[in-house]
Structure 1
């Protein structure tokens, strides 16, 4: 997450430091980022729904996933109707290494992850996966999202049980067969991993820092794409960690 300390007042310099060769404005207001080195993020687009979903239960259900910087992943899911909470944290490693400083080394097994608690009567596990693959991140990048490189930025789903793991695995296979992306999906499924909540200063970061260059360039487009591609599932006022704490 280097370069995030920049302020938007130096936006031209920030774009250069972020390694962006070009910002390409797409139809409908979307933005594609062409990065130095020739790589290109997949354009946000609505991919097909999963062919099957987990069993709907009374009460809430929980989904844990990772797709690059947790600021943007959290920020996007906070705008989804039916999401009760979205919390930034770490998953994939041990409790002893579940800190920002240690996770950023890329040596802990952790990914920056988000725990999404949702009401399955309003939004299903499968639809949340559809949003994840459509607008939240580029699932074809290996150990990277945009300028952030390392295993801590990998695309991953951390199922809480066998049924979630099966639905996620089948969905990845489905998207591959249907050619939803121009490159193979790199998302891993990591069953049996514990989620650890991140430090307080990471919570609601995208909401609290909309003019920060990293947020403005990389994270806000995810929320914009959610609104554009899933208007029926988008809510203007996000559900914030701070609201629940208060």
Structure 2
């Protein structure tokens, strides 16, 4: 029996009930585990021994889970208890019957590219991260209502200086999220490409750039500006 991890949305009482039923009623291995989505840092040492992660919640629960599963390349199957469930695979009423197919390998697996972001602070030699995103990484203005000025590079080569409300770097999976809302292109979900798109650009490129998966994008704030790096809308780094 595989080692299964179950990550649930703690704000939905029914999610814990279903997670507990999966853990006990489907005879999972003794090394299987259950955790709220907001408390995954303590489970990082268990990543290498986890074969599959089940999320019980909505798309937000999956986005939180991939920060844990992504670096270890652990497959994820989602059970929808949210509003949209765009990324989830199963509905609640079918979960108990269909999950054994995933345990036994009788299912198709889609591979999706992710982004890795590192924050380099100007006032020190230290870095924060890396952070991992399934949808997008967004550099946006802080609480003050003014644009950010950002020098952009691709593989170390300057491309332009953006003056905008923000800059989005999205995966193909995330191209239907914030990127689409600001007029960016939709990519095939299985594409390896990335999209670089500004939010309400005042200067610099307003058109989206579709980049190869190996591209290294640099976004440098010019001067002292309050700004936030948002990772999948889950992690906000000031």
Give the TM-score band, short-chain normalised: under 0.3
Structure showing greater Rg: 2
- TM-score of the pair, normalised by structure 1: 0.25
| Higher fraction of strand | 2
| Higher fraction of helix | 1
